[in-house]
Structure 1
C-alpha cells in the first residue's frame, strides 16, 4: 500500500469515528449495507475513470453514458423482453463503442479529451431524452427478474453484490495497472507521451484502450444503477456522476497530469466520498450542500496533490545537491 493510500485509510477511519460519535446509527447494519451498495455503484465507474486520468485525460461523459445505457437496458429487458444476459451484453457493447469513439477522436484526430467527452456528455444525454420524449423509462409495474435481481441488487451475507462486483473488478484492475506490461505502458504514457512513443510504446493504442476500459466499467455501473433505481429519468439520471469519479480518483492519489495513482487509492477515494455523503445525511446537513462538499473535496485533493509533488521535488533536488557535494569532496 502506498503512503497516500495509508493516509487515506486513516482519514476514513477518523471520519467514521467522528460520524459515529455524533450519530451511532452510522454503524447500523442497514446504514452500512446501503453505504456499501453506493460505494460499489460509484466505485465501478470511478475505477474506469482512473484509467483515463492515468493517461492525462478525462472523461466528462460518464454520467450521461449511465443515463443512455440505463435507458437502453431498461427498454431491452422491460419493454422488448430481451433475455437479461443478452441485454447486458448489448449494453456493454454499446458502451465499448462509445469508449472506442472517444479514444479514436483523441488519438487519430488529435482532439482534446475535454472537448471530446464534453460533446459526449451532451450527445448521450440528448439522445436519451429524445428517445424517451423526456418520459421516465422503467420496468413494467410488478415485473420481476429473479436472476437479474440477484446479480445486481441481491446480497450475500449482508454484502451488496454491487460492492462485491467492485471488489472483484478492482482486483482485476489492480493486476492490469500494477502488474502487467500494459500497466507500465499506461504509466509511461501518462508521465510523458512523447518519450513513451520514442521508447516503442504504441501510445495511441494505450490511450484508446484506457477510454474503452472506462466505458466498459461505466456500462456495467449503468446496469447496476438501472436495477437499483428501477427507472431512469433521462434528464436527471446520472447527473454530475463524472464529478464523483474524478473526485474519487484525485483523492486516491491520481494526478490530473497523468502517470500517478493506484487502484487501492481510487477505491478508498470512493469509500471516503460516500462516507462524506452519509455524514451529510446523518448529521442533518441540507442535501443541497452535497455539491459544495464535493467541490471542497476535489479542491482539497488537488491542493494536497500539488503540495505533495512540490515537497517530493524539493526532496529530490536536495538529495541530488547533496550527492554532487559528496562527489566534489571525494574528487578534491
Structure 2
C-alpha cells in the first residue's frame, strides 16, 4: 500500500469514528450493508475511470452511458424477453464498441479526450431520452428474475454482491495496472506519450485499451444500477456520475496529468465519498447541501495533496544538495586575477 493510500485509509477511519460518535446508527448492519452496496456500484465504474485518467485522459460520458445501457438492458429483459445472460453480454458488447470509438477518435483522429467524451455525454443521454420518448424504462410489474436478482442485488453473509463484484474486478485491475507490462505502458504513456512512443510502446493501442476498459466496467455498472433502481429515467439516471468517478480517482491519488495512480486508492476514494454522503444523511444536513459538502472536502483533499507533494519535492532537493556538499562536490571558485594565479 502506498503512503497516500495509507493516509486515505486513516482519514476514512477518523471520519467514520466522528460520524459514529455523532450517530451510532452509522455502524448498524442495515446502514453498513447499504453503504457497501453503494460502494460496490460506484466503485465499478470509478476503477474504469482510473485507467483513463492514468493515461492523461478523461471520460465525461460515464453517467450518460450508464443511462443508455441501463435503458437497453431493462427493455431487452423486461420488454422483449431476452434471456438475462444474453442481455448482459449485449450491453457489455455495446460498451466495448463505445469505448473503442472513443479510443479511435482520440488516437487516430487526434481529437481531445475532453471533446470526444463530452460529445459522448450529450449523444448517449439524447439517445436514451429519444429511444424511450422521455418515458421511464422499467421491468413489468411483479416480474421476478431470481438468478439475475441474486447476482446483482443479492447478499451473502450480509454483504451485497455488488461489493463482491467490485472486489473481484478491483483485484484483476490491480494486477493489470501494477503487476503487468500493460500497466507499465499505461503509466509510461501518461507520464510522456512521445517518449513512450519513441521507446517502442504502441501508445495508440494502450490509450484505446484504457477507454475500452473504462466503457466495459461502466457497462457492468449499468446492469447493477438498473437492477438496483428497477427502473431507468433517462433524463436523470446516472447524472453527475462521471464527476463522482473523477473525484474518487483524484482523492485516491490519480493525477489528472497522468502517469500516477493506484487501484486501492480509487477504491478508498469511493469509500470516503460514500462515508461523507452517509455523514450528510445521518447528521441531518439538508440534501441540497450534499454536493457543496462533498465539493469542499474534495477541494481540501486535492489542496492538501498538492502541498504535500511540494513539501516532498523540496525535501528531496534539500537532501540531494546536502549529499553533494558532504561529498565535496561543490565547485571551487576560479581565481579572480592573474596576480592570484602567480
Cα offset, 1:296, TM superposition? 1.7
Question: What are the within-5 Å matches in structure 2 for residues 271-286 of structure 1?
Answer: 271-286=271-286
Cα offset, 1:303, TM superposition? 1.6
Cα offset, 1:37, TM superposition? 0.1
Rg larger for: 2
Q: Which residue of 2 aligns with 1:26?
A: 26
Cα offset, 1:330, TM superposition? 9.0
Q: Which residue of 1 aligns with 2:320?
A: 320
TM-score where L is the length of structure 2: 0.95
Question: What are the within-5 Å matches in structure 2 for residues 91-102 of structure 1?
Answer: 91-102=91-102
Contact 1:247 1:297 in 2 (8 A): no
Question: Aligned equivalents of 1:37 and 1:77: distance in 2?
Answer: 23
- Give the total of aligned pairs: 332
Q: Which residue of 1 aligns with 2:17?
A: 17
Question: Aligned equivalents of 1:109 and 1:298: distance in 2?
Answer: 34
TM-score where L is the length of structure 1: 0.97
Q: Which residue of 1 aligns with 2:146?
A: 146
Cα offset, 1:266, TM superposition? 0.5
Q: 2:218 aligned with 1:218, yes or no?
A: yes
Q: Which residue of 1 aligns with 2:184?
A: 184
Question: Aligned equivalents of 2:330 and 2:34: distance in 1?
Answer: 64
Structure 2: give runs of 5+ residues left out of the alignment.
333-342
Question: Aligned equivalents of 1:255 and 1:305: distance in 2?
Answer: 10
Render the CA deviation track for 1:79-120: whole Å, top value 9, x for unaligned: 000000000000001011111111111111111111111110
Contact 2:324 2:330 in 1 (8 A): no
Question: Aligned equivalents of 1:137 and 1:330: distance in 2?
Answer: 73
CA RMSD after TM alignment: 1.3
Contact 2:5 2:264 in 1 (8 A): yes
Contact 1:244 1:294 in 2 (8 A): no
Render the CA deviation track for 1:120-139: whole Å, top value 9, x for unaligned: 00000000000000000000
Q: 2:235 aligned with 1:235, yes or no?
A: yes
Cα offset, 1:318, TM superposition? 2.0
Question: Aligned equivalents of 2:96 and 2:294: distance in 1?
Answer: 28
Cα offset, 1:310, TM superposition? 1.6
Question: What are the within-5 Å matches in structure 2 for residues 86-235 of structure 1?
Answer: 86-235=86-235
Question: Aligned equivalents of 2:160 and 2:212: distance in 1?
Answer: 26
